[in-house]
């Protein structure tokens, strides 16, 4: 009897296997429809959820790899949507023998840069100027270092690449010259895209970028200090990150949507440490002329003690009055 039962079980298994093998093979369902299929529709990759910092709809993200379209990755409008006007001013302050700040306005690229150097003797002055020159050279020659990651938009990649190349140049110079050992610099950049109406802001260190919009002054950068890294005490104000100190540097990128009427302020800590944010806001609101506003901000920093070099760049955003028109004040005086 046992042999009969075993034979029946084996026969049943063999029959089931034969039935399975004879079924038609079904192709697996594709995850993405092939482009050659007429009815296939490619959906764009979803944009990352950026931090919503106010009710106006402006978006920003601190210290992350942004993945949003910019004017090189998405269709660019035939004419600018906004106009950008900038004015810069630098002052040694009342206590420092050297002005270790440097800045650049690259009108053709809508790029604005401030660097605040540090180091023995005049090494800080050397570091900040090397940083600004290297960034300007990257944009003028379109050389931003290694190819970008597909996950990083082109404008953010350009800023990060230009600052990384500046970091390498400063680090090499410090290694080659004993007088420059340990030199470094902060940096803050604003890179506007008038045709797509957005701006990338990059920074390392404690140089800042503010935005004045509809009666509200917002700090768009977060200082890279030991205090913000969780270390309290006498050393809390020391930098936790700077350009040129190590072989590589981490760069934080913000993405903003500028609106007509906005004013962006880039500054070294010689201003932000001396003049509180409410006074900065009241100055910008009460003095519409950019030249007068930069002069008054520097004067107020010196009135408060002028303990450091003071550099400011004010950038005003205006609506384009007529498609294709070029305003007479579009140039950026310095």
CATH code of residue 157: 3.60.40.10
Burial string for 87-105 (b: 16+ CB within 10 Å, else e) reads: bbbbbbbeebeebbbbbbb
Provide the 8-state DSSP code for 204: E
Rounded to whole angstroms, the maximal C-alpha distance in the chain is 109
Q: Within a domain: residue 70?
A: yes
pLDDT score for 57:
33
pLDDT score for 282:
98
Provide the 10 A C-beta neighbour count for residue 124.
25
Q: Within a domain: residue 212?
A: yes
Residue 241, token pair as written in the block: 């990150």
The model's pTM is 0.76
pLDDT score for 18:
52
Cβ contact 243:115 at 8 Å: yes
Domain span at residue 70?
Answer: 58-319
Counted domains in the chain: 1
Q: Within a domain: residue 152?
A: yes
Residue carrying the six token digits 């903003």: 256
Three-state DSSP class for residue 39 = coil
Q: Within a domain: residue 297?
A: yes
Q: Within a domain: residue 252?
A: yes
Cβ contact 187:114 at 8 Å: yes
Torsion angle defined by CA atoms of residues 11, 16, 20 and 21, in that order, rounded to the nearest 10 degrees: 0
pLDDT score for 302:
98
pLDDT score for 13:
56
CA separation for the pair 222, 314 (Å, rounded): 19
Q: Within a domain: residue 199?
A: yes
Cβ contact 331:289 at 8 Å: no
One digit per residue, pLDDT tens: the chain, 334 residues? 444 445 554 555 555 545 544 444 333 333 323 333 333 333 333 333 333 333 333 333 333 333 333 444 454 556 788 999 999 999 999 999 899 999 999 999 999 999 999 987 789 999 999 999 999 999 999 999 887 777 778 889 999 999 999 999 999 999 999 999 999 999 999 999 999 898 999 999 999 999 999 999 999 999 999 999 999 988 988 999 999 999 999 999 999 999 999 999 999 999 999 999 999 999 999 999 999 999 999 999 999 999 999 999 999 999 986 554 444 444 444 4
Cβ contact 191:108 at 8 Å: no
CA separation for the pair 207, 267 (Å, rounded): 6
Instruction: Identify the sign of the CA torsion 97, 101, 107, 108.
Output: positive
Provide the 8-state DSSP code for 37: S
Q: Within a domain: residue 32?
A: no
Q: Within a domain: residue 184?
A: yes
pLDDT score for 5:
44
Burial string for 179-208 (b: 16+ CB within 10 Å, else e) reads: ebeebbbbbbbbbbbbbbbbbbbbbbbbbb
């Amino acid at each position: 009897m046992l042999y009969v039962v075993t034979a029946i079980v084996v026969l049943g298994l063999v029959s089931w296997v034969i039935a399975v093998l004879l079924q038609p093979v079904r192709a697996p369902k594709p995850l993405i429809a092939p482009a050659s299929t007429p009815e296939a529709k490619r959906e764009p990759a979803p944009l990352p959820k950026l931090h919503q910092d106010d009710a106006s709809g402006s978006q920003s993200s601190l210290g992350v790899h942004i993945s949003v379209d910019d004017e090189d990755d998405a269709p660019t409008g035939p004419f600018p949507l906004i106009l950008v006007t900038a004015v810069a001013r630098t002052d040694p302050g009342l206590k420092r023998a050297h002005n270790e700040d440097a800045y650049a306005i690259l009108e053709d690229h809508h790029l604005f840069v401030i660097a605040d150097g540090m180091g023995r003797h005049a090494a800080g002055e050397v570091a900040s100027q090397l940083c600004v020159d290297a960034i300007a050279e990257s944009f003028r020659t379109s050389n931003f270092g290694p190819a970008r990651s597909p996950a990083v938009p082109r404008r953010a990649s350009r800023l990060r690449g230009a600052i990384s190349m500046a970091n390498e140049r400063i680090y090499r110079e410090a290694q080659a010259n004993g007088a420059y050992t340990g030199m470094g610099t902060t940096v803050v950049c604003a890179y506007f895209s008038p045709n797509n109406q957005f701006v990338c802001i990059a920074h390392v260190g404690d140089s800042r970028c503010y935005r004045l919009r509809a009666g509200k002054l917002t700090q768009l950068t977060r200082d890279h200090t030991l205090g913000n890294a969780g270390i309290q005490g006498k050393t809390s104000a020391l930098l936790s990150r700077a350009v040129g100190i190590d072989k590589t540097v981490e760069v934080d990128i913000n993405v903003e949507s500028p609106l007509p009427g906005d004013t962006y302020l880039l500054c070294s800590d010689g201003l932000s440490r001396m003049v509180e944010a409410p006074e900065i806001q009241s100055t910008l609101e009460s003095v519409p002329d950019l030249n007068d506003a930069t002069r008054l901000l520097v004067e107020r920093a010196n009135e408060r003690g002028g303990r450091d070099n003071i550099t400011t760049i004010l950038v005003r955003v205006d609506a384009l009055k007529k498609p294709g028109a070029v305003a007479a004040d579009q140039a950026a005086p310095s």
